Structure 1
Amino acid sequence: MQAFLKGASGQSIKPVKEKAAGSSGEKKPKAVPWVEKYRPKCVDEVAFQEEVVAVLKKALEGADLPNLLFYGPPGTGKTSTILAAARELYGPELFRQRVLELNASDERGIQVIREKVKTFAQLTAAGSRSDGKPCPPFKIIILDEADSMTNAAQAALRRTMEKESRSTRFCLICNYVSRIIEPLTSRCSKFRFKPLTNDIQEERILEICRKENLKFSKEGIQELVRVSEGDLRKAITYLQSAARLNGDAEITESIILEIAGVVPPNVIDNLLQICHRGTFEKLQQEVKNMIDDGYAATQILSQIHDRIIEGNLNDKQKSAIAEKMAEVDKSLADGADEYLQLLSLTSVIMQQATQT
């Protein structure tokens, strides 16, 4: 029997639980990030990486796969490609038990290789697909961000790759192939993922805009493609942010610039003008104002770099500034003070610009 509560007047009061149960009858649709929503579901949907897709399609036809090493810039489809291939190989039923995905930036020590990876690799690949399609007799271990793994962990992995070659295939994913030790790269088929061209990115973005019923201007889409620099994931994230921020209004160039954190061109122009014809006190104040306005120092550095390269300085002056930019970039990556680093860079620009 269900218990009832007594009110102050002695009347029975039904528990609030019943009301809550009734009100939660309708389920709201889950809000999924567009990056996940529009992630390729099969190998054919992968954009631009023709060589990788061709090799994977051949492997899928024969239900066989070598050890793989995918490398290239972020947002070019490395993880999406291997996940799509694994789904096609195993189908939805066997995918969970046949695929182990580890992000090496979180779990990158030798202990993880000895425990998780080795244990999973030693398991027997059992089961068959319900749709009757051929199912390969091996499992897949995906090590994302493998360039973050320690050398000891990478060394421990090479023996496992050899020993369990009958039952397990490895896919290493990284941004910098030079950080993967030679014994591992020699055991894998290497594929370089190229930054997506503007045309391919624009095509994908317009497709998402149509599916989401977004209003957009041609300039807005072009600016979105430009600021994402070949990174489709970044482009889709910016697009979703613009759609949420803007509501039903049109997505324009200015909105994209604001979301991407791009410094307005007139602010950069003003800074460089002071470097050419101003005083150090004015320069100091301008740099302080830019930092106070919340502009990221790395973004300012990137935009100054583009202006200097396109500018009228001679090669000797440009090389001196470029060398200083490299030092500032490294210092910022190590967590140095943004104001001091930008002031240091702009002082060098001022010194070079005022030389005859």
Structure 2
Amino acid sequence: MSDYEDEMDVDAPKDLQFSSENASGKKRTVADLPVEAQDNLPWVEKYRPSSLDDVSGHQDILATINRFVETNRLPHLLLYGPPGTGKTSTILALARRIYGTKNMRQMVLELNASDDRGIDVVREQIKTFASTKQIFNMAPQGTAGSPLAGYKLIILDEADAMTSTAQMALRRIMERYTANTRFCVIANYTHKLSPALLSRCTRFRFSPLKEVDIRTLVDKVIEKEGVKIQPDAVDSLVTLSRGDMRRALNVLQACFASSIPLPMRDAPKAPRPEPETVTNATIYDCIAAPHPSDIQEIMSTILSTSDVTSCLNTVQTLKSSKGLALADILSALADQLQQLEVPAQTRITWLEGLAEIEWRLSGGGSEAIQTGGLVGVVRNGSYPEEFTGFAAFQLIPYFNMRYAIQGILLASLSVVDAERVLGAYIFARHGDRTPKIFGSTQLTDLGYREVFDSGSFYNERYISSDSPKQIEGISADIVNPKQISASAPSDAVLQNSATGFLQGVYPPVGKVASQTLGNGSSVESPLNGYQLIQLTPATTSKNAEDSTWLQGSSGCQKATVSSDNYFSSEMYTSLLSSTKEFYQSLSPMLDGAFVSSDMTFKNAYTIFDYLNVGKIHNSTSQFPHKSDLTDEVYHQLIALAGTHEFNLAYNSSDKVRAIDGAVLAGEILAGLNETIATKGKSKLNIGFGSYGTIFALFGLMQMPAASVDFTGIPDYASSMVFELVTNASGTDFPDKSDLSVRFMFHNGTITGSSEPTVYPLYGQSSKLLSWDDFASKTKEIAVTSDEEWCTMCGNTDGKCASSDRSSGSGSVSTSSTNGSGMSLVVAGVIGAMVTLAVILGLQAIFFLLGGFRIAKRNKASHETMSSLAGVEEKKV
């Protein structure tokens, strides 16, 4: 915006004459600036067109305006359209052609109505400037006989922000001073301008620029500024600009600036460092737009996964990891859905639903609720809105249509080089078992079925020859002992769970498992071709299910001390006090298994475990059924047990408490490294443990940054898997540079109808980590040798007393912990927030409900409980 002290050009030289032929070609902002100053300019200003010939696109509009100038018949103008399409650049180039750069100050008044929007501006600045007449002849006569440069020009940018009163006052000024002033009104939306103002102007709509026009200028800027950028990144930049040149140049400049390494503080002045190459990912990160692969993953999950929770988690993870707004996801999703070949009614349903969600968001609707709406709209879009009155057989075509859409989707997501799975490391929790309170826990028939079903899923995914995810080269029928390894701690529940799981991975194969002997006779494997897979027992008592305390059997001295600190924490003492009444009220349901002094938050998990098993099973002497356990009380038990075990097992500022997660990280790294070292001969590693080890690993790998669900106790038969994959073509085992790792987790038993969910590791945005990144980040948290374990734990006896432990050989097994989920620095922040939220949330529950008052009848056997809580009693 210009500011004028003189109303008349009385100081102008009398012999000053200006015409379009001698108009300066310099830019308005860059004129007469030194090179250093020009380098610091925004590229939008640095490369703003200096003449009408330089304006990108809109050739029909420019031709008409040129004709107005040549015939000296310039009317009041209204330039409207989306931002970044050249409206302001066009009128400034026109003013420069008429007046020249040096005379624009006297002849042009530029106001931004978004700042100066009231009637006072119209009455004072605009009226004063328009009413003063130019007394010097600054241009030759036009063809119509009047000097065009004798007119003043008032530019009102963003005029749609002006008040209605100011607009009404402006219309009279435009009429009264037409003899010596021309107005150019610039707006994004004409519906915000008064009809009277619109009728006084010749309108030109500036539509979004074509991609070819944007690319022309972008290529020019890239060349002049020396930007190193990949071709596909240029394509993405042009596409994502959506016809907005300003956006394209701003994003390009931001990406270029971020590609220049920052010098070290106090370092001697050095030549400008070589910029890094701007990649496709850099463009998407800068714009904060969802990458097409992320949108395709959302579509694939929503349309082909029956688990709604997985669908919601996929969208929420994308939003949180990349800082995306739901509105951006909606726009990208709408573009992708329109590219699918689906019935017209399906596309209409999708687009109408997405439009409705976008409208609700614009009105201040909750993003969380509208995210659920998005999942519902896309999932239901492949069904008709009403099934009323249809017979069952009449619904079949509609279900077939959904499957057809899924097929189209999968085809659209295919890539030239199909992904190959080279190996995997699976870690699973045991199945349902008897309560810990009784000691000598045993796997139940239900638990056996749970782990067998989970193992069967991984057979279908990694072993079956019909699976697109089959591990490359793995034996599909008869197990090859060289390709698979499995281990579990020396604990009855975990050993039996591992056996059941492995039976699902490699089930009986009937007569295929037979051999012909030297005498010509044939022998068949018993139990219809039952297959034997060696199960290696862990060398320590890690994860023993008979242990009531997570750290009770780890043997790590410093980990035990770290967990002891939890029992003196403010959070523990606060919850111990505030939940006392609640736990005492559970006495009628505990059937004498706990004495009154043991019915406290100190035994939160053991109490939950006892009641949870009773809730699952029918009433027997071993499983007393808990029909009087309400959902409300049950959910409080889960929340309290999770809080207790989480803090007992993992601490963001004390890594040693998560010692078993660190050991498991080392085992995962060793297993995948073995696959790489043997060039794929070792293919599948399977480990088993309790929720403690899973929690510890979740914490160290920052999983709660991806989803807060990772701070809850995993269900029986939960499993996680680390896939080693590549997109490299050919049949040879690829180089490490072509390898990536994908992490997946499923809470509870997994079957063919429920896929595991993919989550990003270590707080990253990408759900696929390169092998080098995965290996380097995992090494930071892993314990890979006895020496490291002994050093971290501070142990000096047993294996740690051995003189040769400095050799660093031998991996360790230990147990424990819980997962808050973070790297050790990030964990401090997230862990503190989660802990605070848990304290406030749980205390609010108990203040609100006042505790549950149930008639107390104490018939507990102190002898039963004392043997289980002996370790914990020392902690308080």
Whether the TM-score (by the shorter chain) exceeds 0.5 is yes
1:118 corresponding residue in structure 2: 127
1:310 corresponding residue in structure 2: 339
2:37 corresponding residue in structure 1: 29
Greater relative CO (CA pairs within 8 A, separation 6+): 1
Q: Does 1:288 align with 2:301?
A: no
2:60 corresponding residue in structure 1: 51
8 Å CA contact 2:139–2:149 kept in 1: the answer is no
CA distance in 2, matches of 1:340, 1:37: 44
Q: Following TM superposition, by how much is the alpha carbon of 1:28 offset from its aligned partner in structure 2, in angstroms?
A: 5.4
Q: Does 1:146 align with 2:159?
A: yes
Matches within 5 A, 1:79-90: 79-90=88-99
Deviates more, 1:302-311 or 1:76-85: 302-311
Q: Following TM superposition, by how much is the alpha carbon of 1:151 offset from its aligned partner in structure 2, in angstroms?
A: 2.9
Match of 2:224 among 193, 211, 223: 211
Q: Following TM superposition, by how much is the alpha carbon of 1:215 offset from its aligned partner in structure 2, in angstroms?
A: 2.2
Match of 2:351 among 319, 322, 330: 322
Matched residue of 2:117: which SS?
A: coil
8 Å CA contact 1:90–1:135 kept in 2: the answer is no
Q: Following TM superposition, by how much is the alpha carbon of 1:94 offset from its aligned partner in structure 2, in angstroms?
A: 2.2
Matched residue of 1:65: which SS?
A: coil
Q: Does 1:76 align with 2:85?
A: yes
CA distance in 1, matches of 2:90, 2:35: 32
TM-score, normalised relative to structure 2 = 0.36
Deviates more, 1:28-37 or 1:127-136: 127-136
Question: What per-residue deviation string (whole Å, max 9, x for no partner) do you get for residues 284-313 of structure 1?
Answer: 322322232211222101111112222344
Look up the equivalent residue of 1:33 and give its one-letter code: P
Deviates more, 1:110-119 or 1:81-90: 110-119
1:98 corresponding residue in structure 2: 107
CA distance in 1, matches of 2:242, 2:349: 26
8 Å CA contact 2:326–2:371 kept in 1: the answer is yes
Q: Does 1:272 align with 2:272?
A: no
CA distance in 2, matches of 1:308, 1:274: 14
Q: Does 1:184 align with 2:213?
A: no
2:361 corresponding residue in structure 1: 332
1:245 corresponding residue in structure 2: 258
Structure-2 change in CA distance of 1:97 and 1:334 (3 Å): farther
8 Å CA contact 2:160–2:192 kept in 1: the answer is yes
Q: Does 1:254 align with 2:281?
A: yes
8 Å CA contact 1:142–1:171 kept in 2: the answer is yes
Look up the equivalent residue of 1:225 and give its one-letter code: V
Q: Does 1:168 align with 2:181?
A: yes
Look up the equivalent residue of 1:139 and give its one-letter code: K
CA distance in 2, matches of 1:27, 1:75: 26
Matched residue of 1:216: which SS?
A: coil
Bigger Rg, which one: 2
Q: Following TM superposition, by how much is the alpha carbon of 1:130 offset from its aligned partner in structure 2, in angstroms?
A: 9.7
* Residue segments in structure 1 that go unaligned for 5+ positions in a row: 1-25
Question: What per-residue deviation string (whole Å, max 9, x for no partner) do you get for residues 214-250 of structure 1?
Answer: 2233222222111111111111111111111113223
CA distance in 2, matches of 1:234, 1:209: 15
Match of 2:371 among 314, 322, 342: 342
Q: Following TM superposition, by how much is the alpha carbon of 1:129 offset from its aligned partner in structure 2, in angstroms?
A: 4.1
Deviates more, 1:303-312 or 1:41-50: 303-312
Look up the equivalent residue of 2:316 and give its one-letter code: K
CA distance in 1, matches of 2:65, 2:378: 49
Matched residue of 1:136: which SS?
A: helix
Q: Give the aligned length.
A: 331
Matched residue of 1:238: which SS?
A: helix
TM-score, normalised relative to structure 1 = 0.84
8 Å CA contact 2:312–2:375 kept in 1: the answer is no
Q: Following TM superposition, by how much is the alpha carbon of 1:195 offset from its aligned partner in structure 2, in angstroms?
A: 2.0
Q: Following TM superposition, by how much is the alpha carbon of 1:86 offset from its aligned partner in structure 2, in angstroms?
A: 0.9
1:12 corresponding residue in structure 2: none
Structure-2 change in CA distance of 1:319 and 1:354 (3 Å): closer
CA distance in 1, matches of 2:258, 2:370: 33
Look up the equivalent residue of 2:288 and give its one-letter code: G
Q: Following TM superposition, by how much is the alpha carbon of 1:257 offset from its aligned partner in structure 2, in angstroms?
A: 2.1
8 Å CA contact 2:137–2:149 kept in 1: the answer is no
Q: What RMSD in Å do the two structures reach over aligned CA positions?
A: 2.5
Look up the equivalent residue of 2:150 and give its one-letter code: P
Q: Following TM superposition, by how much is the alpha carbon of 1:182 offset from its aligned partner in structure 2, in angstroms?
A: 2.4
Q: Does 1:158 align with 2:171?
A: yes
CA distance in 2, matches of 1:255, 1:288: 22
2:730 corresponding residue in structure 1: none
Look up the equivalent residue of 1:260 and give its one-letter code: I
Q: Following TM superposition, by how much is the alpha carbon of 1:81 offset from its aligned partner in structure 2, in angstroms?
A: 0.6
Q: Following TM superposition, by how much is the alpha carbon of 1:62 offset from its aligned partner in structure 2, in angstroms?
A: 4.6
Matched residue of 2:204: which SS?
A: strand
8 Å CA contact 1:158–1:183 kept in 2: the answer is yes
Structure-2 change in CA distance of 1:116 and 1:278 (3 Å): farther
Look up the equivalent residue of 1:172 and give its one-letter code: V
CA distance in 2, matches of 1:297, 1:318: 20
Match of 2:380 among 343, 351, 356: 351
Matched residue of 2:155: which SS?
A: strand
Look up the equivalent residue of 2:315 and give its one-letter code: V
Q: Following TM superposition, by how much is the alpha carbon of 1:321 offset from its aligned partner in structure 2, in angstroms?
A: 2.6
Look up the equivalent residue of 2:47 and give its one-letter code: Y
Deviates more, 1:318-327 or 1:127-136: 127-136
Question: What per-residue deviation string (whole Å, max 9, x for no partner) do you get for residues 156-182 of structure 1?
Answer: 211111011012111011122333332
Question: What per-residue deviation string (whole Å, max 9, x for no partner) do you get for residues 123-176 of structure 1?
Answer: 222445499996622211111122222333222211111011012111011122
Matched residue of 2:57: which SS?
A: coil
Look up the equivalent residue of 1:216 and give its one-letter code: I
Structure-2 change in CA distance of 1:147 and 1:27 (3 Å): closer
Percent of aligned positions that are identical = 37
Deviates more, 1:289-298 or 1:175-184: 175-184
- Determine which structure has the larger helix proportion and give its number: 1
Deviates more, 1:287-296 or 1:66-75: 287-296
